[in-house]
Amino acid sequence: MAEPNTFNTVTSTPFNNIRAIPLDLTKQLLQETGYVPDGETGYGKFLLEYQTQSLFPRCIREHSGPSASPDKDHTPASRAIAHLKENVIKTGYYVSTALNYQRFQSLRNSHIIPSGVKMLVYIPSPLSIASAFHESGYLSDIASIYKKGLLQDMEDLSAYTTEQTGHDHIAIQIDIGGELPLASSPSRHSQVFKKLDMMKTILEMICEINPSIEVGLHFALDQLDTSITTSLLETSIATVLHVLHNAPNRIKWLKFPLTGTGSVNVWKELSRNYEIISALKKQNVQLRFTQAHPEQAQLAVDRLERCGFELLRGKLQIEKKIVDLTGEHVQFCLQSMQQYESEKTHALNNHGLS
């Protein structure tokens, strides 16, 4: 039997509406969960983020690593696949996320959380889990099973939330790279991601999630080894462009933690790619930059301005976290790229410069 799913809770609210979710809620969530809530800018409306973990990290710890048996049917990966096939649909994100949603809805019904709040569910990329296994012959099987389970969980969750409230009050964020440190052989990551076709897998997941649910991508590469992030950089850029072209208007945000080399490098390369920047503007995709030191935040703003966002310096809100136990950090996002383009045109027209 798999151990029960665990979860932790973080709160999220736009900083320009910081008073809408009172400090008492932060204290209440801390008492209920034992975790300090982490303030984060929201996407256009309020978001309350419930971050969920599944049984797979435990499965990896038990089943990954080099095989001691020459019998292919008894390798760690083969046992893990058998375990996943038996349990992936029965257990996983749906169970714990549904429990989270009950709690979330209770807070909404009590008017502690405003009615416009959505619950944001984090899910890892199937490739991150698959890459932790040594036997390369099983990688595609593991990624396929995991993707199927995740999509089934998200479908069940969507049906459950709609049944409970009549509305789909969830949003989904796919983390790319967040679980990679679990792998016991980091040097294999570039080969793994090429073999599993990251672009195809992420696009399939996005297209198969209920269209009524907002979806975003999170480049969780900030804690990885430099050699890993370098090998993933080109693939990450290609994945973003692939999704923007083949699933237009489906991605609502891209998120970049600016605390480490990996995510910063992904953002730098994205900002240099005119084709991607143009698509982001056209599709009104939000950019989120989180957990940034002030100097990193300023560098990101400067880079945006060089990409043509001249009005950002006056519009961008750079604020401290609600709760911050790690030192001076700031977080910011672009609420609407189209808004900035519209305001820029309006300003030029007013000054006869169009």
Sequence spans of domains, the chain? 7-350
Q: Which of the four pLDDT bands, split at 50, 70 and 90, describes residue 207? A: confident
Check pLDDT > 70 for residue 17: no
Per-residue pLDDT, 214: 83
Q: Which of the four pLDDT bands, split at 50, 70 and 90, describes residue 291? A: low
Per-residue pLDDT, 269: 74
Per-residue pLDDT, 117: 64
Per-residue pLDDT, 67: 44
Alpha-helix residue ranges (DSSP H) falling in the chain:
23-33, 56-63, 76-87, 93-109, 126-130, 139-165, 189-196, 198-208, 226-246, 261-272, 274-282, 294-306, 312-315, 337-350
Check pLDDT > 70 for residue 194: no
Distances (CA, A) of 152 to 91, 148, 238, 332: 11, 6, 27, 33
Q: Which of the four pLDDT bands, split at 50, 70 and 90, describes residue 2? A: very low
Nearest to 245 by CA among 209, 286, 278, 271: 278
Tokens for 92? 């996983």
Per-residue pLDDT, 171: 79
Per-residue pLDDT, 34: 35
Distances (CA, A) of 320 to 267, 316, 325, 332: 21, 13, 11, 9
Query: Of 12-16, 135-139, 315-319, 343-347, which one has max mean pLDDT?
Result: 135-139
Would you call 354 helix, strand, or coil by DSSP?
coil
Nearest to 217 by CA among 179, 253, 242, 241: 253
Which of the pair, 12 or 202, is modelled with greater confidence?
Answer: 202
Distance CA 83, CA 59 (A): 8
- Cβ proximity of 56 and 146 under 8 Å: yes
Q: Which of the four pLDDT bands, split at 50, 70 and 90, describes residue 82? A: low
Query: Mean of the pLDDT values across residues 51-74?
Result: 45
Query: Mean of the pLDDT values across residues 17-35?
Result: 40
Start-to-end C-alpha separation, the chain: 67
Q: What is the mean pLDDT of the chain?
A: 58
Check pLDDT > 70 for residue 290: no
CA angle 251/252/258 to nearest 5° reads 100
Check pLDDT > 50 for residue 180: no
* β-sheet with 286-292: strand ranges across: 7-12, 47-52, 118-124, 170-176, 214-219, 251-257, 286-292, 330-333, 319-320
Distance CA 300, CA 282 (A): 20
Query: Mean of the pLDDT values across residues 283-296?
Result: 65
Which of the pair, 152 or 338, is modelled with greater confidence?
Answer: 152
